[in-house]
Amino acid sequence: MNKRDRDNLNFILTAKPAVLRDWYNHITEDDILYAFELIQIAQSELEIDLLEMTDDVKDCSIANQVLAKFRL
């Protein structure tokens, strides 16, 4: 997500209810779809971060064997 997208997401997540209501009353359907897309991307990023924090793999030998088939 680029800086512009991150700033827009931050607006959506932190705007006061009255500001968000006013914004919502003036946006297009494309803007709504874009906002939902930003929220979905942020959710995916959080899920990946959570998985990375809880991933405690000690033995990667099987994965390395599988990947070796695709390496030159």
Confidence check: pLDDT of 49 > 90: yes
Confidence check: pLDDT of 23 > 90: yes
Q: Which residue shows structure tokens 């809880």?
A: 54
Amino acid at 20: L
Confidence check: pLDDT of 42 > 90: yes
DSSP class of residue 26? T
Confidence check: pLDDT of 47 > 80: yes
Confidence check: pLDDT of 55 > 90: no
Q: How crowded is residue 5: how many other Cβ atoms within 10 Å of its Cβ?
A: 14
How confident is the model at residue 54, as a pLDDT?
Answer: 87
For residue 9, the SS3 value is helix
Q: How far is CA 33 from CA 15, 21, 36, 60, 65, in A?
A: 18, 16, 5, 40, 42
Whole-model pTM: value is: 0.70
Confidence check: pLDDT of 72 > 80: no
